[in-house]
Structure 1
């Protein structure tokens, strides 16, 4: 795993740019700004070359997150630049990720959200602009504390409206607007 250091890996730089310009900048997640500003997001770059290695890294990151208070580490973005570039393969791995939560007895304590450069919601076309709400520079597993979600929903009672708001905003932004954000992986 690559940890945040003064010389940030390009995968972290790209992910932070995406977080600031798209996720926070477009307010796709109204809960993302506070942990970002407070430095409570941990970025880990997977070095795994196979699914077993990625599974081990996921376990490591979940255990590390569970061991720290939210004030120190609110959430983790596990960036997977070397594998799972195919969205369907990535989507299949999410079942394995959920299995890790069960295995570690962390269900109900943590959730795993997913982001991918080719993210596609069911029943949408690949180029549907609404898919871009979950598009990131690299395949990414977002490890989230359930308690943080509960607090966020209390502070933002219309949380169920976020999805609809995001869809409308993405349609207004359009593909050209998204491209201007420059949030893809650095070639």
Structure 2
């Protein structure tokens, strides 16, 4: 989603669209094996960072890292930190992601939390830009998912062949095709 378009959105509308994406794409298509329980139990925190400044975005990320670290996982299992007004450019976003990883490490929380990345213009190295594989990590806004490693390990114990999840997701999206994905989540037509 373009930065100009994002400026017209309120934090509430950004959260609402992100919730819709999570419910339709992530949970609805079962792209993430542990998303459904945290959505159902309402333990997924949505943190909208309205600043355009990447320094302030990093500060907000650290603040959210502290919130989830201090929270009981029954209250906040995981957090999506959403940046609707910053890092519209995917490569700038990757810089922010690297800095957030550095901040996670600096806080001595590597191994406690891990980060997953999502962006409207997400591109994996290798596949052509129009390849549907990119859509596994495309979201309505740039965001960083803070995941509790302990919870992920517990969930993955109950999943056959967890290493195959990315390939399974790509195959599923390719089987659906671009038009069906846009039908499921119409905002994709704006940025995919």
Which of 162, 167, 172 is matched with 2:170 structurally? 167
Match of 1:51 among 54, 59, 64: 54
Partner of residue 143, structure 2: 140
Supply the distance in 2 between the matched residues of 1:99 and 1:66 (Cα, whole angstroms).
16
RMSD value over aligned CA atoms? 1.7
Instruction: Determine which structure has the larger helix proportion and give its number.
Output: 2
Q: Is the 8 A contact 1:136 1:184 kept in 2?
A: no
| Matches of 2:107 and 2:51, distance apart in 1 | 20
Change (3 A) 1:153 1:129: same
**Residue 31 of structure 1: how far off its partner (Å):** 1.0
Provide the rounded CA distance (Å) in 1 between the counterparts of 2:33 and 2:21: 15
The equivalent of 2:12 in structure 1 is 9
After TM superposition, list the pairs within 5 Å mapping 1:1-187 onto structure 2: 9-182=12-185, 184=187
In 1, distance between residues paired with 2:12 and 2:28?
22
| Aligned residues of 1:24 and 1:33 also touching (Cα < 8 A) | yes
1:37-57 per-residue CA deviation (whole Å, 9 max, x = no partner) reads 000000010022211101100
Q: Which residue number in structure 2 is paired with residue 3 of structure 1?
A: none
Number of residue equivalences: 181
Structure 1 runs not aligned, ≥5 long: 1-6
Inter-partner Cα distance in structure 2 for 1:20 and 1:151: 22
TM-score normalised to structure 2 length: 0.90
Q: Deviations over 1:2-31 (max 9, x none)?
A: xxxxx9711111001101111111111121
Shift of 1:182: 2.1
Question: TM-score normalised to the size of structure 1?
Answer: 0.92
Which ranges of 4 or more aligned residues in structure 1 deviate by more than 6 Å? none
SS at match of 2:45: strand
